[in-house]
Amino acid sequence: MQYWLMKSEPDEVSVDDALAAPEKTIAWTGVRNYQARNFMRDAMRIGDGILFYHSSCAEPGIAGLAEVASTPYPDPTQFDPASKYYDAKATPQAPRWMLVDVRAIQKTPLIPLATLRTEEALADMVILQRGSRLSITPVTPAQWRFITGHLMPSSF
């Protein structure tokens, strides 16, 4: 099993939106970075753990737990001219952008980015590296255990 941090702007898709979706599952559309796409396409497996991270908001941070719920498949927004994620170079025969479905497990008390930065055990976490802007980043098993075991209340 692998672990990931996946960023979403809560005004676009929040952990609450995911929990309210049928089967608590959403398609992770709109990724337009090749490295993040490659993580979904090549490395993610059904059941991998996800830290659901709210970004570009008043208080960014980890807002919930989720899991990868599908194998990768073409992001349909790339083919839709009305979508802000439309890609004129993508075709159904040669898609450029892939996605996975994400199943929300639970909302957690927000763990702010500022809190993550204070923890020595998380110093090497990709999201905390200067200049890191990827929407999907790997999380080590040790980082996952620290976050879920030490920063989340014991009821989680």
Report pLDDT for 154: 62
> Mapping DSSP to helix (H, G, I), strand (E, B) and coil, where does residue 42 land?
helix
Query: How far, in Å, CA of 48 to CA of 93, rounded?
Result: 28
**Domains of the chain, CATH where assigned:** 3-151 (3.10.590.10)
Distance of CA 119 to the CA centre of its chain: 21
For residue range 9-49, list pLDDT tens digits in order.
999 999 999 999 999 999 999 999 999 999 999 999 999 99
For residue range 97-150, list pLDDT tens digits in order.
999 999 999 999 999 999 999 999 999 999 999 888 899 999 999 999 999 998
